[in-house]
Amino acid sequence: MFRYFIELAYRGRNYAGFQIQQNANSVQEEVEKALLVFYRQAYELTGSSRTDAGVNALQNFFHLDIPVDHKQPVEADCYRLNAILPDDIVIRSIRPVKPEAHCRFGAMERQYRYGIYKSKDPFLEDRSYYYPYQLDMGLMESAAAMIMEYRDFTSFSKRNTQVKSFICELSESRWYVEGDQLYYTVRGNRFLRGMVRGLVGTMLQVGRGKLSLDEFRDIIEQKDCTRADFAVPGHGLFLIKVSFPDDLYI
């Protein structure tokens, strides 16, 4: 067997999520169908970072194992596979990796970004969240910095998750302004289901004065997801980058 990493980007608007699921279209299903058409072989993919319905990615990964007697991918295959895939999914590269490389468990860090705009703009409506309210940036920046003091993010994990640990090691959490948009960016070794949207939604309540910083801290420490706000839409969220050790690739 030879193992390969597939790097891809996608717009999540038309998909129920990244990972394959019953009775709903996913990014994984579309990529597996393209592989079947092109290679005339069915391959089961393993995903790196799961994204929910509507969430976008500038970079995400699958890995797949190809038997020795099957056609091995080459650089030109990306062009041909992209011709098969829908317009909202693109394969950036297919690269051989060490046999033990795992695109989910081998990832060192993931970076997410959530975008907000306050003035109506039809060119942003599917890539950012329209939120036309006054926000106190100082309070939101303080809330983002406070997040860095913690490792247990039970309060920001949606229910019905199968994870055994709610511990995440974050290396960045901050708000910044770029042009007419407001962004929240966060980096960490792992993220829980709905975690970034829960953080953003709850911090927006702080920015609007509906929650104090002390109340925000209490939500984190109570480890109760019913107190967090997960209401922000998925289309404002982007998975920006997934980082791996340099020696992973062959």
Q: What is the pLDDT of residue 24?
A: 87
Q: In this structure, are residues 198 and 184 in contact, taking their beta carbons and an 8 Å threshold?
A: no
Q: In this structure, are residues 233 and 160 in contact, taking their beta carbons and an 8 Å threshold?
A: no
* Three-state SS annotation for 11-26: CHHHCCECCCECCECC
Mark whether 182 and 221 lie in a shared domain.
yes
Instruction: Check residues 214 and 246 and name the one with the higher pLDDT.
Output: 214
Instruction: Select from 53, 75, 105 the last residue of a domain.
Output: 105
Q: What is the pLDDT of residue 246?
A: 86
Mark whether 99 and 135 lie in a shared domain.
no
Q: Where are the alpha helices (DSSP H) in the chain?
A: 27-39, 76-84, 137-147, 195-207, 213-222
Bridge partners, 241 (sequence order): 111
Mark whether 79 and 138 lie in a shared domain.
no
- pLDDT tens digit sequence for 166-199: 999 999 999 999 988 999 999 999 999 999 999 9
β-pair type (2-10, 89-97): antiparallel
Mark whether 19 and 135 lie in a shared domain.
no
Mark whether 113 and 171 lie in a shared domain.
yes
Place of tokens 């190809």: 66
Average pLDDT over residues 8-30: 92
DSSP 83-118: HHS-TTEEEEEEEEE-TT--TTTT--EEEEEEEEES
Mark whether 94 and 148 lie in a shared domain.
no
On whether residue 246 sits in a domain, the answer given is no
- pLDDT tens digit sequence for 130-148: 999 999 999 999 999 999 9
Q: What is the pLDDT of residue 163?
A: 78
Judge whether residue 207 has pLDDT over 80. Answer: yes
CATH number of the domain that residue 74 is part of? 3.30.70.580
Q: In this structure, are residues 97 and 4 in contact, taking their beta carbons and an 8 Å threshold?
A: yes
CATH number of the domain that residue 178 is part of? 3.30.70.660
- pLDDT tens digit sequence for 32-76: 999 999 999 999 999 999 899 999 999 999 999 999 888 888 888
Rounded to the nearest angstrom, the gap between the alpha carbon of residue 37 and the centroid of all alpha carbons in its chain is 27
Number of domains, the chain: 2
Mark whether 123 and 101 lie in a shared domain.
no
On whether residue 247 sits in a domain, the answer given is no
Q: What is the pLDDT of residue 243?
A: 96
Mark whether 86 and 124 lie in a shared domain.
no
- pLDDT tens digit sequence for 150-170: 999 999 998 777 778 999 999
Mark whether 96 and 113 lie in a shared domain.
no
On whether residue 250 sits in a domain, the answer given is no
Q: What is the pLDDT of residue 168?
A: 96
Mark whether 122 and 63 lie in a shared domain.
no
Instruction: Check residues 162 and 87 and name the one with the higher pLDDT.
Output: 87
Mark whether 135 and 22 lie in a shared domain.
no
Compute the chain's Rg from CA coordinates: 19
Mark whether 129 and 53 lie in a shared domain.
no
Instruction: Check residues 88 and 247 and name the one with the higher pLDDT.
Output: 88
Instruction: Please give the positions annotated as active site.
Output: 52
Instruction: Check residues 212 and 247 and name the one with the higher pLDDT.
Output: 212
Q: In this structure, are residues 117 and 235 in contact, taking their beta carbons and an 8 Å threshold?
A: no
On whether residue 192 sits in a domain, the answer given is yes
- Among 230, 231, 224, 232, smallest CA distance to 166 is for 224
Quote the tokens at residue 222: 């109570």
Q: In this structure, are residues 127 and 202 in contact, taking their beta carbons and an 8 Å threshold?
A: no
- pLDDT tens digit sequence for 92-112: 999 999 999 999 999 999 999
**What mean pLDDT value characterizes the chain?**
94
Q: What is the pLDDT of residue 115?
A: 98
Average pLDDT over residues 6-34: 93
Instruction: Select from 55, 75, 105 the last residue of a domain.
Output: 105
What domain range includes position 85?
2-105
On whether residue 197 sits in a domain, the answer given is yes
Q: What is the pLDDT of residue 175?
A: 98
Rounded Cα–Cα distance for residues 96 and 194 (Å): 31
Rounded Cα–Cα distance for residues 60 and 91 (Å): 10
Instruction: Select from 55, 76, 105 the last residue of a domain.
Output: 105
On whether residue 40 sits in a domain, the answer given is yes
Quote the tokens at residue 221: 């420490």
Rounded Cα–Cα distance for residues 106 and 100 (Å): 9
pTM over 0.85? The answer is yes
